[in-house]
Structure 1
Amino acid sequence: MKINLVQHLISVSVAIFNHVKISVYPWHHLAVHCCRLIFIDISIKSSIMKKALFLFSVLFVTSAIFAQDKYVYSADLKNIVDDRINIELLTPAVKEQEVVFSFPRVIPGSYSEKNYGKYVDDFQALDKDGRQLKIKKLNKNQYSIKDANKLARITYKINDTWDTPDKDFIFQPGGSNIESGKNVVMNNHAFYGYLEGYNTLPFEIRIKKPATMYASTHLNVERKNAEEDILTAKDYVYLADNPVFYCAPDTTSIAVGSSRIYISVYSATGQVKSSQISGYLKPMALALQNFFNGFPVESYQFLYYFEDPEVALADKEKGGGGYGALEHNYSSLYFLPEIAFEPRLKSMVNEVSSHEFLHILTPLNLHSELIEHFDFINPKMSKHLWLYEGVTEYFAHLVQVKNGLLTEKQFFSNMRDKINEAEDLGDFSMTTMSERVLEDKYQKKYGSVYNRGALIALMLDIFIREKTNGEKDLKKVIVDLTKKYGAGRPFKDDEFLSEFVKASHPDVQQFIDNYINGEQPLPFAEYFGKLGYEYAPKKRISVYYAGKMGLKYDEDARAIAFNEVDKDNALGIEEGDLFLSVENNPVTEENIDEIWEKYFQRNDTYTSLSIKVKRKGQEKTLSGTLFRGQLESKNYLGPMTNPTATQKAFLNSLIKG
């Protein structure tokens, strides 16, 4: 119908050209430039000219439907079939005879191949008359479209990534979930593609949805009515950088300084609420504000998906993904287990969230040109994962210990855990691994950014403080560099380390050569020694213990219970006993970790213990003399018996100053 009207208008317009002088663009430019057409020396000779001008305006508007300077996507969340969503795209005007349409192979912030194109079905390219254009699938992610200058519309169906075990399963925070009427986790890079050469044009996403679903995202959302949203993004990189949650609304916001933080939660069984999570995050957000002296962003979105661990595909060995998060510049998306034991839930949320939130420092405000102009198909990877992930992970722990969210003991326990994890991956160049992370050999070492990378950052912080007599530290160097570069000014990847040396101290170059570019083993004893802590690869410790046993959270009793209990234990503990107190100290959800380590795991003081338990509804007191043995501690890390004043001062400046 629209096509017939256009053809009629063309014939009428040609018939009246004798009556007007007009500057005319070639036909294929008309729709793109209609808003800029200039009519020159129009002399109206009859009333028909007024009608003609009206017809021209209709012609141009109608043509613009098929030729525009932006992407207009439509996604139907109301009529989902087999976890697939129908996608339609009104394409921007294409000049070339042939063009390539791409879905991402790789995305920023996730350092492995994803190949989102393999989740696309029934891909079609159409002209303005609805005729199919010839397409050829080039690889998993790309389609070549012939006669592309006639391209008006693309349609396809998109599958989600979460449901089916696969050896190449996409880690959930980078994937998508489609549950009709319940939730849609819309990582935009997993739903929408782009035309090569046209990815800097704006994007408009028109969403049809159930009235019960609400969009949580950093993207601009025009909520047209209860069942229609329009999302907009300035270009494809920005679209891909801002995920969207669609689900029943459970949102909370908190103000921190002049910034506002939004928390959105989807909990599979309803256990976890956004108000609960906001209570966990508020102290952490205040700690980060103190660390930054204010936030570098006006708003930030935390998007949490809490899955029932009974059904989650979270075991990579069985073709699943895993729990965790993916950072974005103004938001972060989390896939985490529902946990009834609240202290565990709180510590998990805080640990993961603090890391992701700190990415507003780097890479948001300090990043390579290779990230700024990211190639979603054949990216050249930045050398500086040690910065983006390693420094961020270290700062996440440092912020918490400085603000009392972690104890000194917990901080160093976390560092010891990282030493153990890093040991399994060996010694290697962090910059080489980062630059070649998409290769299988180096992809296996990617996890090192969170352990070896964080340990390098700790050592680098100590090194800078020492070399500058405390005038500078790692945070100051990073903040100074963010002021030099910032969100809109990337650094040159090959020049950054030289810039880092200039901003810190000349001797930092040797540190970089040894431990960031180089492959030298990290000198833990030397650096932890500066803080008054002893490090030893192995150390035997005399301990007292009750026998083999563990703990679990009894959801029915809402209490801590003993499990996997050796019958020959020293205290007469039985399977399922509820743990009430030890040495007259009540056991709570908040102190159980400290109590367990002090009296059961690393007890070098108490030769006997008295505990209270509840067994089959009855309280019992259990006492006994403990066994004595030798515990061999791998990568021992503990406070020195008599640290010097210098060591104490250095430690205090690091974790308290």
Structure 2
Amino acid sequence: MPRRISFLLAVLPLLVAACAAPSKMATTSMSSSASASYTVAIPDVTAERFQITATIKGITADTTTYFFPIWGPGAYDLVYFGKYVRNFTATGANGEPLNVRQVDSNSFHISGIHGVVNLRYEVQDIEDVPNSALFGLSDIEPDFAFANTPALFGYAAGYKAIPHTVTYAHEGWDITLGLDPVAGQPDTYAARDYDELVDAPVHMGKFQRLEFMVDGKPHIISITAPTQLSKSDAQALVDTARRVVKIVSGVFGELPYNRYIFQLLLVDLNNTNAMKAFGALEHANSSTYLMPYVEGRVAQSLAEVLAHEYWHLWSPKRIHVAELGPFDYQRGPRTRSLWFAEGLTEYYAQALLARSGMVSPEKIIGDLNQAAGSFGVRRQRESITDLSLRVAEAPLFEIIGLYSKGPMIGFLLDAEIRLQTGNRKSLDDAMRFFNEKYGKTGATFGDDDIIPIMEEATGAKLSEFYKRYIAGREPLPFAEYLPRLGFTSVVTYDTATTLGATFSADEQGWVVEEVAPNGAASLMGLQKGDILTKVQGPDNEFPLTSIPPQFADMLAGQLPPGLTVVFLRNGTSKKTQVQVRTVINEEKQWGIDRADSSLGAQIRKAMIGA
């Protein structure tokens, strides 16, 4: 779900970022005057339905099939958006009824056409779909509405490449979306084709609007939150977003858009009903965020995820394998390269902020230590390329590997290039090469081309690294690489809030694998084999199937008091009050000597700023 899990605030169940690639014009035998125009309205917010009308002109045959997407690029999961369409009808140019036959949940066959088809249908908002996150779906509330536009628009077979316009009726509400407005037509926006139309989510509502400029180009932030951001929070957010834009675009030396939109949907941490799948999704000229609202720390909590989504403007929006654009909306993507599209993106989201001083390099060092324990000790059950192949069907908690192991692969791959070339070349050079040869030309490449292209760009030999650690399942070689980068092993002591147990994931929730003696889980009465299914508050609840168990202790430090956990023991449902404990941990960890001036230390500093 492109979902990508780029930044993890301590409470975040999941941070999924996603990847949609720019559209490519396709050849077709359609009329040269063919076009499609849509209108979107919400007549009654309480009904929670979008009302859609469309006119498609220039259809040369007397029949067509109108398809709704089964997935939205970047979110990867299979939603089958047509299942949420209601009251679908079609008429001709003069209002005469056309014959409509529903083929399946996602397509309608229309016959009796004489050049023009007028469509009318409704779309139920779909903010709650199993194994999907809101930023890839849609929602209508009393004070705002949001839609990732594959949820709203379909296409006539063979007519995706025609020009599209869309008019949004949003009386009394503000609006943001990434499409350019049509001059002289209020609230109407133009897309050069269907791919561009559904790569521009819409945010409407009584939201807070912030703006800033970079290199003469406007950047807009629309914010729906539990309360309006304070003046200091708003200014900090603008400053952070501006710095992110400058830092990330500086790698490539361009701003490849006319204007850029950040759409923020911030939710109350105490609303456990909303704590399902935090994250974000990138688009060609915009990005959408479903994140917790942390008063006084909004900018700080968003910095890394902003960097992740903004990096996606290049990879994989413009730099991508053929499987990620142009899209087949009736078949989910199958690619082995999401380690490149998502994992390397997360590496850069962390590394660029650390290099620039926006975040402490100690955070990356902490992540390296955590990853060394997770990925550097034992052979992995699955390679990251195999995980990438099944991402469309994988449950949310399994996809975390793209965003936890992925950036570590990026770190080690960057180190490998720099070590081989004496720090004369880096992964940065490879990404710039990709952009010049592919991003700026619209050309694509295959999964098997990525490493040869990197070798061409840097002169480094990387096929063995790929074979062992990316396509292979060997433990990541932290113990080999970190000393060569000037890292030293140190003993540390720290306090941590913990549930006092280790967990694995299954389709029902968290399976208790081990209970620490006298720990919180022991006091709660939990036993090995119990399955924790959900956490309940006074008025609501959230399922633990949506939260990777790796984040159990991260979540423990943020849970409000008075919660109950529901668990299964031998098939019987039981409850116990949530308890946590603070413990002191002694660990051997990797640290750095800032006085070290060796080549390895210079490489490390170039990579993470310390």
Distance, in Å, in 1 between the alignment partners of 2:274 and 2:469 is 33
Distance, in Å, in 2 between the alignment partners of 1:472 and 1:313 is 48
1:378–1:337 Cα change, 3 Å: same
Partner of residue 514 from structure 1, selected from 468, 478, 498: 468
Q: Which residue of 2 aligns with 1:303?
A: 263
Give a deviation string over 1:338-357, Cα, whole Å, max 9, x none.
Answer: 222x23x3322101111111
Q: Which residue of 2 aligns with 1:191?
A: 152
> Does the alignment pair 1:268 with 2:231?
no
1:336–1:516 Cα change, 3 Å: same
1:518–1:363 Cα change, 3 Å: same
1:460–1:90 Cα change, 3 Å: same
Q: Which residue of 2 aligns with 1:495?
A: 449
Partner of residue 292 from structure 2, selected from 337, 353, 373: 337
Q: Which amino acid aligns with 2:200?
A: N
Partner of residue 167 from structure 1, selected from 130, 135, 143: 130
Q: Which residue of 1 aligns with 2:194?
A: 236
Structure 1 unpaired stretches of 5+: 1-30, 34-67, 316-320, 550-565, 567-628
1:422–1:174 Cα change, 3 Å: farther
Identity %: 23
Q: Which residue of 2 aligns with 1:284?
A: 244
Partner of residue 456 from structure 1, selected from 404, 409, 421: 409
Give a deviation string over 1:21-51, Cα, whole Å, max 9, x none.
Answer: xxxxxxxxxx968xxxxxxxxxxxxxxxxxx
Q: Which residue of 1 aligns with 2:205?
A: 247
Q: Which residue of 1 aligns with 2:548?
A: none
> Does the alignment pair 1:326 with 2:286?
no
Greater Cα radius of gyration, structure 1 or 2? 1
1:310–1:118 Cα change, 3 Å: farther
Question: Deviation at 1:115?
Answer: 1.5
Superposed, 1:227-626 pairs within 5 Å as 228-248=186-206, 250-271=208-229, 274-311=234-271, 313-315=273-275, 321-340=276-295, 342-343=296-297, 345-419=298-372, 426-440=380-394, 445-493=398-446, 494-534=448-488, 543=493
Question: Deviation at 1:289?
Answer: 4.5
> Over aligned residues, Cα RMSD in angstroms?
3.5
Distance, in Å, in 1 between the alignment partners of 2:58 and 2:258 is 35
* Aligned-partner SS, 1:201: coil
Q: Name which of structure 1's ranges 375-384 and 462-471 shifts more when overlaid on structure 2.
A: 375-384
Task: Work out the number of aligned pairs and report it.
Answer: 500
Distance, in Å, in 2 between the alignment partners of 1:271 and 1:288 is 25
Structure 2 unpaired stretches of 5+: 1-29, 500-519, 521-582
Distance, in Å, in 1 between the alignment partners of 2:157 and 2:497 is 64
Q: Which residue of 1 aligns with 2:108?
A: 143
Question: Deviation at 1:107?
Answer: 1.8
Question: Deviation at 1:409?
Answer: 1.4
Q: Which residue of 2 aligns with 1:176?
A: 138
* Aligned-partner SS, 1:91: strand
1:417–1:237 Cα change, 3 Å: farther
Q: Which amino acid aligns with 1:196?
A: A
Distance, in Å, in 2 between the alignment partners of 1:198 and 1:457 is 39
Q: Which residue of 2 aligns with 1:110?
A: 75
* Aligned-partner SS, 2:350: helix
Q: Name which of structure 1's ranges 122-131 and 519-528 shifts more when overlaid on structure 2.
A: 122-131
Question: Deviation at 1:191?
Answer: 1.0
* Aligned-partner SS, 1:653: helix
1:354–1:308 Cα change, 3 Å: same
* Aligned-partner SS, 2:263: strand
* Aligned-partner SS, 1:654: helix
Distance, in Å, in 1 between the alignment partners of 2:313 and 2:262 is 13
Q: Name which of structure 1's ranges 108-117 and 413-422 shifts more when overlaid on structure 2.
A: 413-422
* Higher relative contact order (Cα pairs below 8 Å, separated by 6+ residues): 2
Distance, in Å, in 2 between the alignment partners of 1:436 and 1:643 is 44
Q: Which residue of 1 aligns with 2:516?
A: none
Q: Which amino acid aligns with 1:438?
A: A
Partner of residue 153 from structure 1, selected from 118, 126, 129: 118
Question: Deviation at 1:429?
Answer: 2.7
Question: Deviation at 1:196?
Answer: 1.6
Distance, in Å, in 2 between the alignment partners of 1:473 and 1:547 is 38
Q: Which amino acid aligns with 2:149?
A: N
Question: Deviation at 1:304?
Answer: 0.8
The TM-score normalised by the length of structure 2 is 0.74
Distance, in Å, in 2 between the alignment partners of 1:532 and 1:417 is 18
Q: Which amino acid aligns with 2:123?
A: I
Question: Deviation at 1:452?
Answer: 1.0
1:303–1:126 Cα change, 3 Å: same
1:150–1:652 Cα change, 3 Å: closer
Q: Contact 1:366–1:491 at 8 Å: present in 2 too? A: yes
